[in-house]
Structure 1
Amino acid sequence: EPEFGESPINLFVPAWNYNDRYLAQPIVQHIFLGPYHLVRRGEFLQQHAIQHILCIRDPSEVMFLREVQTNPPSQFHFIDVPADVTKLSIIPYFSQANQMIAGFVEAGQNLLVCCSDGIDKSASFVAGYLMSRYGLKAVDAVTFVQNHRYCATPSPAGYRIKLLEFEPISAAQRNSLISSSNGSNNASVARRRDDSDDEDDQSSMGMDANTENIGARPIAGGHLAKRAR
């Protein structure tokens, strides 16, 4: 069974009060992590320009963690994960969330990732995104999240194990994207070289043809002769 271990990233929180768990903290640019109740806090949404709310919930929470009218308006997104994740393949859920988060971040849009308390489920999904985006190991991703939201604690028998299971898959996905990107760049460079060679060949052929035409056709008024020199 994989072990979570310790991270070489130092766990350092400049200041943390118990009540900070009821707030949201920025983890990386555009991504905030916190509890669900903040969706009803218009001043928070407005202050941080929250455009999207990604809520991680289990089926028993659907009636309580639901879409509400926010001011200013924010778009809700839900990922429903069974409460007992110990025997669950979490990969599709992580992949779905990572794709959504990446889209918002690339568009420069701020989002709040939340669950009921912003401690277990949502913290784990943010850690999963960091693993996929930055190539972090599970323990490093969790430590990074805790550096910004100290109370973030993926459940030892649940999400910590699932993050460890996701680790080799996220690494493989990232390597595949890098290889694909490098291949596209190499192909683009090769196409530019081929196009450049074709242009040089056409230019050379054009010069030969112009030289032949200059000698074959009559020169009127001396204008073409001046250009030829």
Structure 2
Amino acid sequence: MLRPPTVPTGSPASAMTPAAPAAVPSLERSFGLAHPKTVVPPCFLNDPAILAEWRSDYTRFAQRLYDHLWLGPMSAALDPAFLEANNITLLLGVAASGTLDGLRPELPAGVEFYPVPVSGPHDYVKFFPHTRQKIDENAARRRGATLVFCESGNDRSAAFAISYVMERSGLDVIQAIQFVQSKRFSVALDDTTVFQLRAYEPLYRARKTVSSCNPSFSISAPTTVFRKKCLRRTLDDIYDRTDQHETRPSIAPFEDRESTPAFDSVDGMQLCV
């Protein structure tokens, strides 16, 4: 019986045989619930001109989204010449409260500063409706423009600008992101922020439906401290009620009751008493 020839170690045939992949330990660790990823096509698919027109130094300046709305970094909010030249009368700053305090003393005359203190993307949704009202009121009453800004102008403030674009133009999340990126190409949102915007889309559409049926419907300003109304009785409510105990004198049990004669028969039957 013929045996197949053995291939010696180190021959070209053995070198062509792929080696088994080494086991690599997994580095994935879950530190919480991950939000589903939303794939946003690049804005230059709809507007290729942005690739030719955008330059890296444009990130230091603000870009116009509408005639009454600008989006940019904090450096644009600190430029009085820029604010005056573009009739910006409202600065809407989105950041932690401590990082916006230094802006107040340098505001030029006629410019209002409205801070939006957020600790993370989970705070965005409750501020979206009120910031939209502030932008519309500034454009209607003061005939001025609004600058929405954060430290970089690419993440927190961009999320609020996208929420405004969604409501004003009736766009979905992806269309609004593409529109804002076509104006400010450096906008970059993480998955958590996009998830919050997606959660806000059905809310603003439902509010529009309610507003069309009830014109008097209004939105109250958000508050950072919420107090729950106690609907259950407390221990003080239970143990402080002494109205039933003070009307009866403190005597031995049953001594204040009238004596009742014992029955010695029921329907002719003799009972032991």
The alignment's TM-score, normalised by the length of structure 2, stands at 0.59
User: Equivalent of 2:195, from 152, 161, 164?
Assistant: 161
Inter-CA distance 143–91: structure 2 relative to 1 (3 Å threshold)? same
Mapping 1:10-49, distance limit 5 Å:
10-12=46-48, 13=50, 15-49=53-87
Inter-CA distance 89–51: structure 2 relative to 1 (3 Å threshold)? closer
1:149 aligns with 2:187: no
Q: CA RMSD for the aligned pairs?
A: 2.2
1:128 aligns with 2:166: no
Q: Which residue of structure 2 lines up, in the alignment, with residue 95 of structure 1?
A: 129
How much does 1:8 deviate?
Answer: 9.9
- For these two proteins, the number of residue pairs brought into alignment is 176
User: Equivalent of 1:177, from 211, 215, 218?
Assistant: 211
Higher alpha-carbon Rg: 2
Q: Contact (CA 8 Å) 1:36, 1:116: kept in 2 or not?
A: yes
Q: Answer with 34-43 or 66-75: which moved more.
A: 66-75
Q: Which residue of structure 2 lines up, in the alignment, with residue 220 of structure 1?
A: none
Inter-CA distance 15–72: structure 2 relative to 1 (3 Å threshold)? farther
Q: For 1:153 and 1:131, how far apart are their aligned partners in 2?
A: 17
How much does 1:50 deviate?
Answer: 1.0
Q: Contact (CA 8 Å) 1:42, 1:72: kept in 2 or not?
A: no
1:74 aligns with 2:111: yes
Q: Quick one: which amino acid aligns to residue 67 of structure 1?
A: R
How much does 1:117 deviate?
Answer: 0.9
Q: For 1:45 and 1:68, how far apart are their aligned partners in 2?
A: 15
Q: Which has the higher helix share?
A: 1
Q: Quick one: which amino acid aligns to residue 77 of structure 1?
A: Y
Q: Quick one: which amino acid aligns to residue 126 of structure 1?
A: A
Calculate percent identity across the aligned residue pairs. Answer: 23
How much does 1:99 deviate?
Answer: 1.4
Deviations 1:89-137 (A, max 9, x none): 5321111211111212333311111001110011110110111222111
Inter-CA distance 99–167: structure 2 relative to 1 (3 Å threshold)? same
How much does 1:157 deviate?
Answer: 2.6
Q: For 2:173 and 2:139, how far apart are their aligned partners in 1?
A: 21
The alignment's TM-score, normalised by the length of structure 1, stands at 0.69
Q: Where do 5+ consecutive residues of structure 2 fail to align?
A: 1-34, 216-273
Q: Contact (CA 8 Å) 1:57, 1:115: kept in 2 or not?
A: yes
Q: Which residue of structure 1 lines up, in the alignment, with residue 144 of structure 2?
A: 109
How much does 1:176 deviate?
Answer: 2.5
Deviations 1:51-109 (A, max 9, x none): 11110112452445x31323454111101011x32xx2532111121111121233331
How much does 1:178 deviate?
Answer: 3.3
Q: For 1:15 and 1:173, how far apart are their aligned partners in 2?
A: 38
- SS of the residue corresponding to residue 207 of structure 2 reads helix
Q: Quick one: which amino acid aligns to residue 69 of structure 2?
A: I
Kindly indicate whether structure 1 or structure 2 has the higher relative contact order, using CA contacts under 8 Å at least 6 residues apart: 1
